[in-house]
Amino acid sequence: MTNSGTTVADTRAHTAQAAPLSCRGLHRYLGEFESRVHVLRGISLDVAVGSVHSIVGPSGCGKSTLLYVLGLLDAPDDGQITIGGEDVSGLTDNELSQKRNELIGFVFQFHFLMHEFTVLENVMIPMRRLGRLTPRDMRERAASLLDAVGLGDKLERLADHLSGGEQQRVAIARSLANDPKILLADEPTGNLDTENSERVFRLITELVKREQKALLLATHNPLIARASDFIHEMKDGVIVRSGPPA
């Protein structure tokens, strides 16, 4: 299906622009021997720039597994992942981690903050890994991201000495450290009360729209799913329905 006047190259360029994150036919098995489980059974999706996509589905249907695979933290057993228009299947481990550091930000279900580090240091960790900024610029950028999530007055606080909602906001600031094009979030508002959960979600979605990022998140929260641009319903490792909220 090519529109008249549109070349294949045009279409490809458009797809790369429109979908910084795509996958086709992803399969993933976990466990060994008799406990081996076929967790992802042929997942295909595209997340466009400036859009928020939710994955919903019962516990154990494969949402987190999918986010790990799409985030290049775990390799699929079959299928193709395209990040920023590039097929990543042939990349070495080093190239994959470079891509991950440059292009992808994660907000995990459990924040995985370094608890003995300060808030500021936690947000600087991904910048140190990428190694593009001077220590001074890293500090400035981390401080401004933390300011944006309302934690400008807690920069030197130990991550351990924050409330759950505050830790979640640190995790969001950290996910943005390297200005990634793609954000992957696993229950980004899990364990937050309704008010904080809405606040955190609004914060991320405004940023996605303003800075034209792509966000894919897994959630059990129907309010968040309904506020997304697109919902993917997952069941037993397949997407059974995709579309804008009804």
Ligand X SMILES: Nc1ncnc2c1ncn2[C@@H]1O[C@H](COP(=O)(O)OP(=O)(O)OP(=O)(O)O)[C@@H](O)[C@H]1O
Q: Given the rule CB under 6 A, which residues bind ligand X?
A: 30-31, 35, 37, 39, 59-65
Gap between the Cα atoms of 226 and 244, Å rounded? 8
Nearer to ligand X, 7 or 35 (CB): 35
Smallest distance from ligand X to CB 190, Å = 9
Smallest distance from Mg ion to CB 85, Å = 28
Nearer to ligand X, 6 or 110 (CB): 110
Count the site residues for Mg ion by CB under 5 A. 2
Nearer to Mg ion, 63 or 111 (CB): 63
CA 10, 24, 84, 201 torsion: positive or negative? positive
Smallest distance from ligand X to CB 35, Å = 6
The option from ligand X, Mg ion, none interacting with 118 (CB < 5 to 8 A, set by class) reads none
The answer to whether residues 162 and 120 touch, using CB atoms and an 8 Å cutoff, is: no
Nearer to ligand X, 64 or 122 (CB): 64
The option from ligand X, Mg ion, none interacting with 3 (CB < 5 to 8 A, set by class) reads none
Half-sphere exposure of 157 (CA within 13 A, CB side): 16
Burial class (CB in 10 A: 0-12, 13-18, 19+), 52: buried
Nearer to Mg ion, 64 or 168 (CB): 64
Nearer to ligand X, 57 or 84 (CB): 57
**Does 64 interact with Mg ion (rule: CB under 5 A)?**
yes
Q: Which residue is nearest to Mg ion (CB)?
A: 64
The answer to whether residues 231 and 242 touch, using CB atoms and an 8 Å cutoff, is: yes
Smallest distance from ligand X to CB 34, Å = 11
Cβ density class 113-138: b for 16+ within 10 Å, e for less: beeeebbbbbbbebbeeeeebeeeeb
Q: What is the DSSP string of 70-117?
A: HTTSS--SEEEEEETTEE-TT--HHHHHHHHHHHEEEE-SS----TTS
Smallest distance from Mg ion to CB 19, Å = 24
Smallest distance from ligand X to CB 134, Å = 39
- For the chain, give the number of residues: 246
Per CB under 5 A, residues contacting Mg ion are 63-64
